[in-house]
Every structure is written in C-alpha cells, then in structure tokens.
Amino acid sequence: MRIDLHSHTIFSDGTLTPEQLVAAAEENEVSILAVTDHDTLLGVQPTIDAARGKNLNIIPGVELSIDMDLRNHGYIHLLGLFIDHRNSNLKSRLQKLRAARDQRNRIILKKLESLNICLTEEELIEEAGRGSAGRPHIAVLMQRKGYARSLKEAFETYLKQGAPAYANREKLSFTEACTLIHQAGGLAILAHPVSMAIMDEMELEHMLLKLRSLGLDGLEVYSSFHKKNFGDRLLVLAQVHHLLVSGGSDFHGDNKPDIQLGLGLGGLNIPVKVYDDLVKALQNRVR
C-alpha cells in the first residue's frame, strides 16, 4: 500500500482530471491520496466522487502560497491536510485569491505583449479549462504558439521571478494561512521544506521553531525534492521539536513529467505510520 499526501489536478496546475488522477492512483497502488491544488478547493469533491467505490481514501487538502521574504529565492508553501473543503471562511478567502490571480494574469499578458508575445485572456481561460489559470498555463500557450521551445524556457526567460514578464501576486501571511487551515479542521504542513533554500542546519532549525510558534503542525519530510540526507535531518528535527511528519510526491502530471504519483522520482516510500500519526493528531485535537 502506498500513500501520497501531495498531488494536483487540472483545477490548479496539474494536467490530470480528478477521474484520471484516481485512475493513476489505482495503477500505482496508491491507497491514500491527498488532493492539494494551489489556492483552490475545486478539485476535491470531484476526486472524492471519482474514487467512490474504489479502494482509495481521498484526503481533502489545499496548498497555499505564503507571503514571506526568504534569501536565495526561497519560498514557502503550506499544505492544509484533512480540511473541510466546504468551510465557508476558507472558500471565501480562496475566491478572493483567485480574483487577485486573474488580475495578475492580465498584468503578465500585458508585459508579454510589450515583448511582442501576443496571448489573449480568452486563450488563457480556454487553456486552464475548469482550473484556475496561472503561469504554467501561460507557459503552455507560449510553447504552443512558438514563443518558447519548452515550458522551462518560458519560465526561465519570461515568467520566473526577476524575468521581464513576472508579476507579483497576493499571498497569505503564514499566520493567516494556518488560521484558515485550523478553522477548517485541518493540519498545517510545511510543503517541501527544501524550497525555503535554507541549508544551514541551525538556521533551518530556527526557522522551523519560528513557524511552529506561528501555527505550524508539521512538515513534509518525504518529498520528491529531498535528498536522503536532507530528509533524514528533517525527520530528526521533527522528532526533537514535536512536529508532525508528512510526505507526498507533489504530482502534477505532464507539468512535472519525472514525478510519478506515489513514487516521486521512483524511490519515494512514505511509511503508513505517517498517515496514522496524522490521524491520531487530529483525533487528539478534537478531544
């Protein structure tokens, strides 16, 4: 049995529909799967519906982008796991973030137009389909229309932070994100901590303690992006400082083609105890 507590659908920047995600989970023998689309809950219920009657437990989740300045282009994403995806406070805040994302897309398209790259908002909406449009969809359009040879080139040359078509977007503070997750009955889990770009062990420990004081419940120790020694360090820090342990592939389908659901880059093996401990933590909180 495999578990994967970090995956995406077409409702954010994944390429699989909820039905296709469920089929991929069955093919890869994943029995416990969290759907954690970026800043949206729209993919959760369709995935639950698609998994009905199958040997697959769907965990409602979300991945939130955090507004926090870090050195070396580091950034923080926060997973909300086991949330109530019908929670009105969380849904309302995410709708506002989506409106801000749409405005950001318009700014990016105008910047691209000034660089003689002509993409329309209608094309972007069509490309995103049922999901929330963002930079990955813009990159796909750029590649399709011959403005970039690959998605990587589109990001590196035009769309990444510091590139000529980049635009900032509204993000949540860490405290607000944790509060929203907790109000929705979930656990606040630091996604792929390596993305913070903090390699010094003492500095990393200090940051985790700071985040814990702001509401962090745990961290993603098992990740497609973690080398074994880094994962081992995270596991020790989690144990020493009483933080929960989670793990997931960060599956995006063709947008991250090397990452497989439940397997990561091939060797991801998340112990079932990880899921059991998360459930126990939730149960203890309810009591």
Q: What is the percentage of the chain residues whose pLDDT exceeds 70?
A: 99
pLDDT computed for residue 136 by the predictor: 86
Give the model confidence (pLDDT) of 68-84 as tens digits: 999 988 999 999 999 99
In this structure, how many other beta carbons lie within 10 angstroms of the beta carbon of residue 235?
Answer: 14
Answer yes or no: is 282 within a domain. Answer: yes
- Residue 150 confidence class, pLDDT cut points 50, 70, 90: very high
Give the model confidence (pLDDT) of 33-59 as tens digits: 999 999 999 999 999 999 999 999 999
Range in 41-50, 81-90, 159-168 the model is least confident about: 159-168
Structural domains of the chain, count: 1
CATH code, domain carrying 71 = 3.20.20.140
Residue 183: pLDDT above 70?
Answer: yes
Answer yes or no: is 173 within a domain. Answer: no
Answer yes or no: is 158 within a domain. Answer: no
**Contact criterion met (CB below 8 Å) for 32 and 275:** yes
Answer yes or no: is 156 within a domain. Answer: no
* Angle 141-145-148 from CA coordinates, rounded to 5°: 80
Answer yes or no: is 8 within a domain. Answer: yes
**Contact criterion met (CB below 8 Å) for 215 and 179:** yes
| Chain position carrying tokens 């439940």 | 262
* Angle 233-4-84 from CA coordinates, rounded to 5°: 105
Mean pLDDT, range 260-286, rounded to an integer: 94
219 - beta bridge partners?
190, 245
Answer yes or no: is 167 within a domain. Answer: no
Residue 203 tokens read as 């500095």
Residue 131: pLDDT above 80?
Answer: no
Answer yes or no: is 78 within a domain. Answer: yes
Residue 130: pLDDT above 80?
Answer: no
Q: What is the mean pLDDT of the chain?
A: 95
Which among 196, 267, 275 has a CA at the least distance from the CA of 237? 196
Mean pLDDT, range 232-254, rounded to an integer: 97
23-35 burial, b at 16+ Cβ within 10 Å, e below that, comes to ebbeebebbbbbb
pLDDT computed for residue 127 by the predictor: 86
Mean pLDDT, range 109-132, rounded to an integer: 90
Q: Residues with Cβ < 8 Å from 189, sequence gap 6 or more?
A: 5, 78, 79, 80, 81, 216, 217, 218, 219, 220, 244, 246
- Residue 255 confidence class, pLDDT cut points 50, 70, 90: confident
pLDDT computed for residue 287 by the predictor: 59
Answer yes or no: is 52 within a domain. Answer: yes
pTM of the model: 0.90
Q: Residues with Cβ < 8 Å from 32, sequence gap 6 or more?
A: 1, 2, 3, 4, 5, 56, 57, 59, 275
Q: Range of 39's domain?
A: 2-85+186-286
